[in-house]
A and B are shown apart, each in its own frame.
Chain A
Amino acid sequence: MSGEFDFYTVVPGEDQAETAEIQQFLSQCDLEMEGNIDLFVLAREQRRLIACAGLSTNIIKCVAIRPEYRGGAISLQLISEIVQLAAERGDFHLFLYTRPSGEAFFSGCGFYPLVEVPERIVLMESSPVAIQRYCQRLRQLRQPGAKIGCIVMNANPFTLGHRYLAEQAAAACDWLHVFVVSEDVSLFHYADRFRLVSQGLSGIGHLTLHHGSEYMISRATFPGYFLKEKGIVDHCHTAIDLLLFRQYFAPALGITHRFVGTEPFCQVTEKYNQDMKYWLQHAPSTAPAVAVVEVERCTQQGIPISASEVRRLLAVGALSQIKPLVPPSTLQLLVSDYATGTHG
């Protein structure tokens, strides 16, 4: 009929020739084909590839349009298509990264800036009010005090090390807010992790436990965190996650101090801690600085307790060795739901 472009969806890797064509098209537009893309929306005029946009769950990536078509109707059609496609898959809240030069384009497509790493990258979301509403809900949970602490933990699973960190932080502050990373890609499901944290922290006063959000160490704001095993570390992503924390969530709750455990094992977490000191304390920002407090990990027989060690022991079925590292509530769940192997 009328309408000059054909839009359709492809799964990368399904058709080798087509995937290669997309890859080449992206590199012509100075972009790399990123990993984890679930679907591409392609626009063709007759057989010629004119534009593409990729979707990785709720993150839009690899948006490329031939230079001579930019600024035209196809840009809006392309983004409309991918937003509608994401909606069909149940994702209504979308994120994307763009260079600062691309911000204006996506603004015209119904995306709104969240944070910017100056001159490097901008994180945008598909709603004019989502983060504001989230902060509004956080503000309801403010507590009075001069020193308000915060811990963000994945707790995969919750160990005595986590308990120790929380105890130290709570003792040093008027109030402590603990967030559990909600992105559900870890060995232990979010529901279990959250429950173990809740059980594991019981008895510590002046503490609020919060569910995590898409804005806090999520695939959208810090994808590198979840690719730890591959040792992938991405400078800008830690900045994005930390700037969100400093500019939005810390002010909403009045957080003055962020507590982390020292990181002897994991390279990504260690880098995150170092970046945290920069972005929360020293980087120029209109938002007040948040002090970063690194607490020495507590040890068990001289070895710092870590969740990764617990997971390793679990994988080889060494439950008796796990016992001194975790509270009873965690051990119970490991035994009932996550144990493998037969040695005890």
Chain B
Amino acid sequence: MKIIKQAIAGTLESSDLMVKVAPSDNDSLDLVISSEVIKQFGQQIRLVVLDTLAKLDVSAGSVIIEDKGALDCAIRARVQTAVLRGAGSDELNWEQLS
């Protein structure tokens, strides 16, 4: 998928996360994670986000994560929602989303 416009998904509430995506200006993937538990879980969050993006075939874009202690399933859901909104797509390819 190609991120063609800015989009956000999620909330700042506890156990959730806010995901902001934007088109890339240099054709690369730029992931920034902000979390109160970055030391303990930063790496894990990163892996889940990258995996989610890879399954959606997102290779370029700016992705900023504001994590509030979300579980993996919330991370996947919010990242997917933001990407779909940013791609202007509502085509749900369930293999890519699983």
Where the two chains meet, the residues of A that have a C-beta atom closer than 8 Å to any C-beta of B are 73, 76-77, 79-80, 83-84, 87, 92, 108-110, 127-129
CB pair B13 A127 closer than 8 Å: no
CB pair B64 A83 closer than 8 Å: no
CB pair B12 A127 closer than 8 Å: no
CB pair B32 A110 closer than 8 Å: no
- A-B pairs with beta carbons under 8 Å apart, 20 shown: A73-B14, A76-B11, A76-B14, A76-B68, A77-B12, A80-B11, A80-B12, A84-B8, A84-B11, A87-B7, A87-B8, A92-B6, A92-B20, A109-B12, A110-B18, A127-B20, A127-B64, A128-B34, A129-B32, A129-B64
Q: Return the contact of A92 from the options B8, B36, B68 (Cβ within 8 A).
A: B8
Q: Which residue of B lies closest to A128 (CB)?
A: B34
Q: Which residues on the A side are within 8 Å of B12 (C-beta)?
A: 76-77, 79-80, 83, 108-110
The proximity string for B residues 1-22 relative to A, scoring 1 for CB distances below 8 Å and 0 otherwise, is: 0000011100111100010101
CB pair B13 A73 closer than 8 Å: yes
Q: Which residue of A lies closest to B85 (CB)?
A: A87
| Least CB distance, B60 to chain A, in whole angstroms | 15
State the CA gap A73–B16 with chains docked (Å). Answer: 12
Q: Which residues on the B side are within 8 Å of A84 (C-beta)?
A: 8, 11
Q: Which residues on the A side are within 8 Å of B11 (C-beta)?
A: 76-77, 80, 84
State the CA gap A29–B32 with chains docked (Å). Answer: 35
State the main secondary structure of chain B at its contact with A: strand
State the CA gap A21–B53 with chains docked (Å). Answer: 46
State the CA gap A80–B68 with chains docked (Å). Answer: 12
Q: Which residues on the B side are within 8 Å of A129 (C-beta)?
A: 32, 64
Where the two chains meet, the residues of B that have a C-beta atom closer than 8 Å to any C-beta of A are 6-8, 11-14, 18, 20, 22, 32, 34, 36, 64, 66, 68
Q: Which residue of B lies closest to A75 (CB)?
A: B12
Q: Which residue of A lies closest to B7 (CB)?
A: A87
| Least CB distance, B63 to chain A, in whole angstroms | 11
State the CA gap A76–B69 with chains docked (Å). Answer: 13
CB pair B22 A110 closer than 8 Å: no
Q: Which residue of A lies closest to B13 (CB)?
A: A76
CB pair A110 B66 closer than 8 Å: yes
State the CA gap A9–B13 with chains docked (Å). Answer: 19
CB pair B13 A77 closer than 8 Å: yes
Across the A-B interface, give the 8 residue pairs with the lowest CB-CB distance, nearest first. Answer: A80-B11, A110-B66, A92-B6, A76-B12, A80-B12, A87-B8, A76-B13, A128-B34
Known: A76-B11, A128-B32. A83 touches B6 (CB 8 A): no
| Least CB distance, A88 to chain B, in whole angstroms | 10
Q: Which residues on the A side are within 8 Å of B8 (C-beta)?
A: 83-84, 87, 92
Q: Which residues on the B side are within 8 Å of A73 (C-beta)?
A: 13-14
State the CA gap A273–B12 with chains docked (Å). Answer: 40
| Least CB distance, B24 to chain A, in whole angstroms | 11
| Least CB distance, B84 to chain A, in whole angstroms | 14
Sample of 6 more A-B contacts, CB < 8 Å, known A80-B12, A80-B13, A110-B18: A76-B11, A79-B12, A80-B11, A87-B6, A87-B8, A110-B66
